[in-house]
Amino acid sequence: MGLMDLLWLFFIVSALQPALQRRYLDAMRVRKIAQIERARASRVILLVHRQETMSLLGFPLVRYIDVNDSEEVLRAIQLTDDEVPLDIVLHTPGGLVLAATQIARAIQGHRGKVTVFVPHHAMSGGTLIALAADEIVMCRHSVLGPIDPQLNGMPAASVIRVAEDKPIAEVEDQTLILADVGRKAIAQVTETARGLLAARMGAEAAETLATRLATGIWTHDYPISAAEAKEMGLPVSLEMPAEVIELMTLYPQPVRRQAGGVEYLPERRQRALRQ
């Protein structure tokens, strides 16, 4: 084999290496998901959003919960018998209220136990989803976040305060419109959270916590620790399985190029019969 042949072979192997690495990583993920499902007799669904880097110019591509994610999660739940437990791994900065609400309500309507695992962080819409779970498993330094709505990148609560604090003659029409939308958004998110919480903690406690999370008491990126979430009355556990942490190592940064952040084994999961 000549030098040119070796060079061509080197270029071919170099070109194929990323694809082979992705295939290997995908196979490892499938094996780990299947391992957790067998051990826990559950359906495992991942909602993982990493910040990826575009291949040519290096611009950050921020990923978040969108309607594609909600469709995939709802499909996974539909493929799961009602009595089979759901184990949902959340790693997300949040996303669309519509998509997060759809997922949360689907989780709430599932009869089997729903456990949400938060190895690192589940902010905003991720927290809204976690509120629907029977159990939220966190690491000691994992965090949740407030669910106050954002309008055009601005906190709805802050827009409302600006509109209310200044003389109305000095407030632009667009700000007044945003403030009106903001009041509706806060009321809607508060009501959604209250509905998710009421069945487990009572109407009064649910109203108090929903208001605390949705009305802009903190900045939107305020980290709610496991200890603080437990003090709020959320069903938090620190018994994070090692397998879930191992699974997250298979989602390095950046994670991959294709769209979508949901993964599950696309087959019906039925409750095992026991004698």
In tens, the pLDDT along 166-210 reads 998 898 999 999 999 999 999 999 999 999 999 889 999 999 999
Assess whether pLDDT exceeds 70 at residue 265: yes
The pLDDT score that the predictor gives to residue 260 is 62
Cβ-based neighbours of 230, under 8 Å, separated by 6 or more: 236
The stretch 154-177 carries a mean pLDDT of 93
Instruction: For residue 111, name the pLDDT band (cuts at 50, 70, 90).
Output: very high
Domains of the chain listed by start with CATH number: 27-145+223-275 (3.90.226), 148-219 (no CATH)
- Using CA atoms, how far residue 196 sits from 105, 129, 150, 234, 241, in Å, is 8, 9, 20, 11, 25
SS3 at position 91: strand
Residue 5, pLDDT above cutoff 70 = no
Q: Which two tokens stand for residue 177?
A: 């419109």
How many CB atoms are closer than 10 A to CB 32?
Answer: 18
- DSSP-based three-state secondary structure for 6: helix
What is the Cα 95 distance to its own chain's centre?
A: 8
Rounded Cα distance between 75 and 79, Å, is 6
- Please state, in angstroms and rounded to a whole number, the distance separating the CA atoms of residues 65 and 74: 13
Arithmetic mean of pLDDT, 266-274:
72
Q: Does pLDDT of 143 surpass 90?
A: yes
Q: CA angle 208-212-218, nearest 5°? A: 170
Q: For residue 39, give the 3-state DSSP assignment.
A: helix
Q: Which two tokens stand for residue 43?
A: 């359906």
**pLDDT exceeds 70 at position 57:** no
User: Are the beta carbons of 156 and 175 closer than 8 angstroms?
Assistant: no
Q: Which pairs with CB-CB distance under 8 Å and at least 24 residues apart come from 6-11?
A: none
